[in-house]
Chain A
Amino acid sequence: MPFREINSKMIEATVMPGQRVFSQRGAMLAYKGEVSFTPNIQGGQGGIMSMIGRRVANEATPLMTVEGSGTVLFGHGGHHIQVISLAGDTLCVEADRLLAFDGTLQQGTMFMGSQGGVMGMVRGQVTGQGLFTTTLKGHGAVAVMAHGGVIEVPITPQRPVHVDPQAYVAHHGDVRNKLSTALGWRDMVGRGSGEAFQLELSGSGAVYVQASEEKL
C-alpha cells in the first residue's frame, strides 16, 4: 500500500519511478527526494472524453499528478484522513473529498439516477452529492478527507445500515443505496426531529461515516 498514516490528519505516500499518484492540488505538505507535481488538466485519468464527462458532471476537482522517486506527505486543511484500500471493488466518493489516490485505480463518473431512478437523483440532492458521483475501481489505496473522525460501518446482506446523508463520506462494495424518508406532519409544521431523510445502504461492503454533519 503506498499510503501510510502518520497521524489522523497526515499521510505519507511513497512514489517510485513509473508509478503515479493523483492528489488534490495544494495538498502536498512536504516531500523528500526528487518528486514533481504537475497540474492535471484532465482532472484525473482517461482521455479527453472522460475529462468532458467530469466537467459536465461537475466532478472535476483540481488534481495534480505526483511522479518521481521519494516520499510525499499529504494533508489538507486540517481535515481528518481515512485511507481506504480497494481490492478490486468500487468506491463511490465525492470528488472534492479525494485527497490522493493510486494511479492504478480506474476513475469514473456515475450518474446518481442510475441507482434508483428519480429517487436516486433526489438522494443526490439531499446528500449534497449532486447528480453525479466519482467512482474509483481496481486494486490500490485511496485517501479520503472528512470533517471530524471517520468510522467504517460494515454492511452485510442481513443488516442494512442507515446513515445521516450529511455525515455520509463514501462507500465501497456491492451496495445498493436508497433514500428513506420519515416525513410526518411534524416536519410540515417545522417541529421535525431533523432526521427526516436517511440514507439506507444494503448489500455487502462498507460505508464510511464522519463524526460531523458539516460538509468539507
Chain B
Amino acid sequence: MTTYPGAGPVVHDPMTLPSDDNVNNYTFCVELKGSQWFLQKGKMIAYYGSIDFNGIGHGRLDRLVRTSFHSPLHASDWVVAEGSGKMLLADRAFDVNSYDLEEGNLTIRSGNLLAFQPSLALKQSIVPGFLTLIGTGKFVAASNGPVVFMEPPIRVDPQALVGWADCPSPCHHYDHGYMTGLMGGLRAMTGVGGASGEEHQFEFVGAGTVLLQSSETLMAEQATGAVPHEPGVPGGGGTPAGHPQQPGAAVPRLPGQLGDLQRRFGL
C-alpha cells in the first residue's frame, strides 16, 4: 500500500485490508480464521466479519486460559477474540507494531501490550507493571512514538521503558552523586535546588535488547465530537458559567440569541 501526496485518503474494504500487518503506523489489522487472539479491552476499534469477544474466566475458555494466560492480576483487562474476520487494533494514537517471537521471551509494559496469539504464554514479570511473553507467536504492542531498540549495557528511565528481550538482569540503579560533599549535603538538608528527577533508573546488563519509547505520559484526553467552547460556535458546551440555565428552558439557548428578550417579544 503506497500513498502519494495529494492522492487522498486510502479506502480499505475487507479484501484490501492487510492480514496480520499494519494498516498505517497507528493501526494494526489482525485476521482471524477460526483462530483465537488475546486482546486487551478497549483496543479493538473496528472489525469485519463475525468475531466474538469473550471475557476471560468464561467456562468454555478455561483450557485456553489455563495454557496461555498466567496473570490473574490482569485477567479482567483481557478478552479472547475468536471467529473469522478482520479486526483493527489501535491505542491512543500511539505507534503500533507487531513482533514475532520464536522460542523466545520478551517482557513488556502491561499497558502497551494490545494483543497476542495464544501460542504465546503470558506471565506476570517480577518487575511490577510488566508482563512476560514466552514461546512462539506474534503479538502487537503500542508505543508513544516509534520504538527504539538499544543494546545493553544501558540505564533507562522507568517511564521510557517499553520492554526488554533476553535480558537476564534488569535492576534498579540510583544516582545521587550530587547529594554528597559539602554543597550536596546542604542541598539534601535544605531541599534547595531540587532534584534532577533522574536519580532512579532501570539498569540492563548482559546480552539482549531493550525497547524504548519517548514517554509513557499520555496525550491529554480530548473529548471527541464535542464542539469547541467559543463564541460564534453553536452549541459550544452549553451555558457559560455564572448563567445557570433555567430548569424550565427546554430548548438550549444558542449563542447570539438575545436572551429571553426574544421570548418576551414572542419570537
A64 CA to B197 CA, complexed, in Å? 9
Q: Give Cα distance in the complex from A194 to B159, angstroms.
A: 38
Give the size category of B's interface with A. 35 or more
A25 to B196, CA, bound (A): 5
- Contact for B192 among A26, A40, A41, A78, CB less than 8 A: A41
Q: Is the CB of A73 within 8 A of B160?
A: yes
Tell me the complex Cα distance, A25–B178, Å.
Answer: 14
Residue of A nearest to B198 (CB): A37
Q: A78 contacts B154, CB within 8 Å?
A: no
Flag if A26 contacts B197 (CB, 8 Å): yes
Residue B5 at the chain A interface, CB threshold 8 Å: no
Of the candidate stretches A1-9, A108-116, A129-137, the one touching chain B is A1-9
Given the interface contacts A29-B212, A39-B178, A39-B196, does A190 sit within 8 Å of B232 by beta carbon? yes
Per the bound structure, the CA–CA distance linking A190 and B196 in Å amounts to 46
Given known contacts A78-B144, A78-B215, A29 and B156 CB-to-CB distance under 8 angstroms: yes
Q: Say yes or no: B154 contacts A31, CB within 8 Å.
A: yes
Q: How far is the CB of A144 from chain B (nearest CB, A)?
A: 15
**Is A28 touching B144 in the complex (CB atoms < 8 A)?**
no
Q: How many A-B residue pairs have CB under 8 A?
A: 106
Residues A29 and B154 in contact, CB atoms below 8 Å apart: no
B150 near A30 with CB under 8 A, answer yes
- Interface pair B194/A37, CB less than 8 Å apart: no
Q: Which of A39, A41, A75, A194 contacts B215 (CB 8 A)?
A: A75
Instruction: Contact check, A32 vs B154: say whether CB atoms are below 8 A apart.
Output: yes
- Smallest CB gap from A41: residue in B: B193
A31 lies within 8 A of B146 (CB): no
Instruction: Tell me which of A64, A76, A78, A191 contacts B198 (CB under 8 A).
Output: A64
What residues on B are CB-neighbors of A8 within 8 Å?
145-146
**Which residues of the other chain, B, contact A76 by a CB distance below 8 angstroms?**
214-215
What's the Cα separation between A51 and B178 when bound, in Å? 20
The complex places the Cα of A106 from the Cα of B210 at a distance, in Å, of 36
Q: Are A38 and B178 in contact (CB under 8 A)?
A: yes
Verify if A62 is at the interface (C-beta below 8 Å from B). yes
Distance in Å from the Cβ of A159 to the closest Cβ of chain B?
Answer: 24
Q: Is B196 a contact partner of A29 (Cβ separation < 8 A)?
A: no
A92 within 8 A of B: no
State in angstroms the CA–CA spacing of A40 and B193 once bound together.
7
Instruction: Flag if A37 contacts B160 (CB, 8 Å).
Output: no
CA of A176 to CA of B231 in the docked complex: distance in angstroms? 32
B175: CB under 8 A from chain A? yes
Closest B residue by C-beta to A191: B232
Q: Which of B181-216 touch A at CB < 8 Å?
A: 192-198, 201, 210, 212, 214-215
Q: What 1/0 flags go to B211-244 for Cβ under 8 Å of A?
A: 0101101110000000000111000000000000
A residues adjacent to B (C-beta < 8 A): 6-10, 25-26, 28-32, 36-41, 62, 64, 73, 75-79, 190-192, 194
* Supplied contacts A32-B154, A62-B197, 20 more A-B pairs, CB within 8 Å: A7-B146, A7-B214, A9-B144, A26-B196, A29-B157, A30-B150, A30-B154, A32-B153, A32-B155, A37-B178, A38-B178, A40-B193, A64-B198, A73-B150, A77-B214, A78-B145, A78-B214, A78-B215, A78-B218, A191-B231
Top 6 A-B residue pairs of the complex, sorted by shortest distance between their CB atoms: A190-B231, A26-B197, A9-B145, A9-B214, A29-B160, A75-B214
